[in-house]
Amino acid sequence: MQYSDVTAYRIIIQNYFLAFNPSAREQRGQLFFLTSLLLIPCVFALVSFLVKHL
């Protein structure tokens, strides 16, 4: 459990540095990364809402 958490944080940190890499090829990745940053809390909120009400 802890190992997968560390791996996930490492991937997030790598994506963070890639997203702010100022090259034209990475702009689409930056957009995807920022979108996923907005989507992840929404998914967690939805899951926790469903768990509480089921």
Splitting the chain (54 residues) into consecutive groups of 10 residues, what average pLDDT does each group show? 70 70 63 82 87 85
Domain count, the chain: 1
- C-alpha dihedral (16, 5, 48, 46), degrees to nearest 10: 30
What is the crossing angle of helices 27-53 and 2-19, to 10°?
A: 140
pTM, entire model: 0.38
* Domain extent at residue 34: 2-53
